[in-house]
Structure 1
């Protein structure tokens, strides 16, 4: 039996870990393969600082993925780190890797309510697979 691929973007916020809690609550470890994805944002820095900024971003991203992966050790999971524009890379990864489901957590802070989470909203507009938007703090 093929496992369904579940992509979980991890951005380093506690909020993004709600998607992992949702995964553990609703998805059987024998039926899904979670993929934790962190996208290192493209930032413009002086050329002389680019290599250092890239290395620091990658190191930080991989630390986040290691931390998140400890929460799903009972699953057969994998982690991925890429550089790019976050929503573009989530969509690209999902399409190129035949992802079945993307789990994302929305931002419900009042001052951000006008943008659902710009990344989540952008993914929702363009996604070709199932997208589950997990409410922030669903498990309190």
Structure 2
């Protein structure tokens, strides 16, 4: 399979960094372009009034996103891989799937914590929902134990 566009959703976590490394390695081999994406998850904050408090919280989340996407840029530059970064806002799995379709991604590479049992039932998994709804292949990188 020849990949041209690889989407790498990141939140800056250790497992996201591992996913970035895998994506960059694949891109280096295939000549693909990396699309780093950070989703500002606004779903828990829908009840917060749109005043100074939300503005401050949004600034903090945007800074986290910038830091996470900096890791994509750093890895891509290190291996001379072309990349573009994008901050999105909304429900993470929905935004990731929609963005993958918008850019016509050939592959999504993302980390998963590998939660099982009650934790998985309670929290669900963004990666699992992306895997279920994405129209392109999804490579899940499991967190090292």
Name the TM tier (shorter chain).
Answer: 0.7 to 0.9
1:109–1:33: structure 2 CA closer, same or farther, 3 Å change rule? same
Hey, what does 2:60 align to over in structure 1? 56
Equivalent residue for 2:85?
A: 79
Partner of 1:125: 132
Contact 2:4 2:30 in 1 (8 A): no
Counterpart among 50, 64, 67 of residue 47 in structure 1: 50
Q: Deviations over 1:54-95 (max 9, x none)?
A: 222212211221133112211111111011100000001001
Distance 1:121 1:24, change over 3 A: same
CA contact (8 A) 2:10 2:68 kept: yes
CA distance in structure 1 between the aligned counterparts of 2:141 and 2:129, rounded to whole angstroms: 15
What CA RMSD, in Å, does the superposition of the two structures yield over aligned residues?
2.5
Closer, same or farther: CA 14–111 of 1 in aligned 2, 3 Å: farther
Shift of 1:109: 5.0
- TM-score, normalised to structure 2, is 0.81
Kept in 2, the 8 Å contact 1:33–1:75? The answer is yes
Contact map agreement 1:7 1:102 (CA 8 A) in 2: yes
- Find the aligned partners of 1:88 and 1:57 in 2 and give their Cα distance: 18
CA distance in 2, matches of 1:38, 1:84: 10
Counterpart among 97, 100, 105 of residue 103 in structure 2: 97
Tell me how far apart the structure 1 counterparts of residues 22 and 119 of structure 2 sit (CA, whole Å): 22
Quick check: 2:12–2:67 contact (8 Å CA) kept in 1?
Answer: no
Q: Gaps spanning 5+ residues in structure 2: where? A: none
Is the CA contact (8 Å cut-off) linking 1:29 and 1:76 kept in structure 2? no
Q: How many residues align?
A: 137
- TM-score w.r.t. the length of structure 1 is 0.84
